[in-house]
Homo-oligomer: A and B are copies of this chain.
């Protein structure tokens, strides 16, 4: 009766018929039928057999029910919902989704599960939606897995003629992520984003099962983070008193993320990208706002921590300790990118410090790095660094250190060869800001340094294991899209991020090798669902094409 398709077969049918099973990211194991089922008026989701369910799980159930009611997404086929009316009129009514933990699984909060060390988060789940009106069931080994399953369940439903229905039932899904790290990075220093923008972004991230928010919170341009004990940096270095994340804002964001299965890795980039600290602590910053900026930094304003100074090293260690205490994550990024040597060469204080200690610049950088990483580790956290710290400098890094490759995906193998775990963040695939033209002034013909625009197809087609042996591949934790915000702010946050960031979310959840042709109809579906949910995700094609999978292909 029901046609059971393997995931592979399902993908190939998507190509040649209407898109079905538009879950994003694609579950790793999906069996589906050819019937429909609709939600009964009294449809409910019940937590079964979970003693004292954690409040964030109860909230996740409640949010899922709200989405089922409010999404009102019409299917993307010619005729829209009307095309399904015959099937829907015969469909049985589903009155319940039963949610339970596997025997012996602990009913911890989603938040605590999401904040576990990378590699030890349990996100798998099993979901069954029958066609006969008997209850749907969702089980998992953790509340985090249940959240992922609820997210999938919430994407199965369409609206037409007053009915909320799913197709391709019966559905059985056994799902788990291919990679433990699936992230998104936002820079809130070049331009500021209110907490509400970050929360909306976290919602969208959770809907595509991204589990890591990499928060590049401060940089040379502004320091919007109010750090206990260091409040003068934000009070003098934020763009304004209203453009600050207070400790309560941070708690709010971390809790909001955690409840959505997302851990927050903060980054305090050091020793470069710190110019603005000079506003409160000029004694700690070399070449602050020196000109011409291009001789002292990759972008204005110039300014770097005086890494050869013991006082500055202590100041930095204390600052990192204080920031560490604001974030429960076991990951903490200390940055380390784009260190400008000329800044230090021209800085009399740094040169004095070096000659007093008899250290070379690289030796001083090593000591600075060891001192600052030590305090991170003392807080139970793993340091995360940009690739230069591994490839360009001679610093001692713990084997546990994780590297972000950003300059080029061609550098992945070199980092892995040094034995470090790695997060893909390469500009040639995952930089959302590329292709918007040069932003530096007095440069009428300037284009982005990382042209062209990185399309969703480009990132979706990335091979995380290119040129790596099986053994080396074990060091790949996953990857992320990144938004540097020289040309972004609240007004274009959604449109520059979505749905593109969803392409890496699927790459790292479902695994590499996905096909852009079969993905596109599901990505259209996701993009329209995001719009229904208040996220300004953009159109990827004319609606004419979105309604006709494959017909606007290059070869059609």
Q: Which residues of A contact B (CB under 8 A)?
A: 80, 189-192, 220-222, 239-240, 291-294, 299-301, 435-448, 451-458, 460-461, 485-489, 491-492, 494-496, 516-517, 520, 531, 536-545, 550-556
Contacts and interface: CB of A to CB of B under 8 A. Distances in A.
A446 B107 CA distance: 47
Contacts of A492: 492, 495, 536, 538-539
Given A540-B487, A541-B487, A452 B455 contact: no
Among the interface residues A240, A448, A495, which one has the most CB atoms of the partner chain B within 10 A? Answer: A495
Nearest to A239: B543
B544 A192 contact: no
Contacts of A555: 292, 442
Contact of A453 (B189, B437, B488): B437
Given A536-B492, A539-B491, A452 B447 contact: yes
A491 B529 CA distance: 13
Contact of A457 (B80, B444, B536, B538): B444
B491 A537 contact: yes
A540 B448 CA distance: 13
B539 A442 contact: no
Contact of A540 (B439, B451, B452, B552): B439
Given A461-B444, A554-B446, A538 B452 contact: no
B440 A446 contact: no
A544 B222 contact: yes
Contacts of A494: 491
A488 B539 contact: yes
Contact of A538 (B301, B441, B456, B487): B487
Given A441-B553, A446-B455, A536-B492, A542 B460 contact: no
A491 B487 contact: no
A172 to B, nearest CB: 30
A556 to B, nearest CB: 6
Among the interface residues A488, A537, A554, which one has the most CB atoms of the partner chain B within 10 A? Answer: A554
